[in-house]
Amino acid sequence: VPITNGPFERLTTPKDRHQDLVLSTKTVSRAVPKNSETDVVMCAVKPTCVNRVVVELVILNLNPRRIFILAPASACPTFQTYDQRVTCIPDDEVLPGVSISTISEFLQRVHGRIGSTQFRGRSVPGWYLQQFVKIGVALKVPDLSKHYLIWD
C-alpha cells in the first residue's frame, strides 16, 4: 500500500518495523545534510532495542556530530553505551523546575485528576515534558549545532 511520507517521496508500507525505521532515516537523510556538523536530539523513556536501532540508523544515514538523548536519569548509563557520540541528559535537568512532577501538579491543579494521568495508555505529564525538553535543549547545551534535528 503506497503512502506519502511528507514531501520527500512515496514509500511502500513496510511489513517489518525495522524496515520502517530504515526507510524513515533514509527519507530524513535526503532532507538533512549528511555531515558531522548537525546534532540530533531525541527523547526516550527507557532503553529498548528500537531506540538502539534508531541511533544506529541515524548514525549510518545522517552521520551527526552528536546525538543527545533526553531521558530519565536512571536510563542514561545504558544510553551512553550506544555510541561515543551519544550524550544522555536527564530530562528533569534540561529546564530547571520543569519535571514530570511539576507538570503533573500543574495539570492536576488546572484540569483535575483526569488531566494529570494517562491518555490512550500514555503519560500526559510525560508527553508534555518531552515537548518542553526537546525545545529547551537549546538552552541547556550551549554548543548545540545552529540547526539541529529533533528525532521524534
Q: What percent of the chain has pLDDT over 90?
A: 47
Could you give the CA distance from residue 42 to residue 53 in angstroms, rounded to a whole number? 13
| Amino acid identity at 10 | R
| Per-residue confidence (pLDDT) for residue 29, from 0 to 100 | 54
Q: Is 108 a residue whose pLDDT tops 80?
A: yes
> Could you give the CA distance from residue 91 to residue 69 in angstroms, rounded to a whole number?
9
Looking at residue 21, the DSSP 8-state letter turns out to be H
pLDDT digits (tens, 9 = 90+) for 2-54: 434 443 333 333 444 445 455 555 555 555 556 678 999 999 999 999 999 99
pLDDT of amino acid 14: 41
Q: Is the pTM of this model over 0.85?
A: no
The CA-CA-CA angle for residues 141, 143, 145, to 5°, reads 100
Packing angle of the helix pair 49-62, 17-31 (nearest 10 deg) = 30
Question: What are the strands, taking DSSP E only, across 17-61?
Answer: 39-43
Determine contact, residues 85/66, Cβ cutoff 8 Å. yes
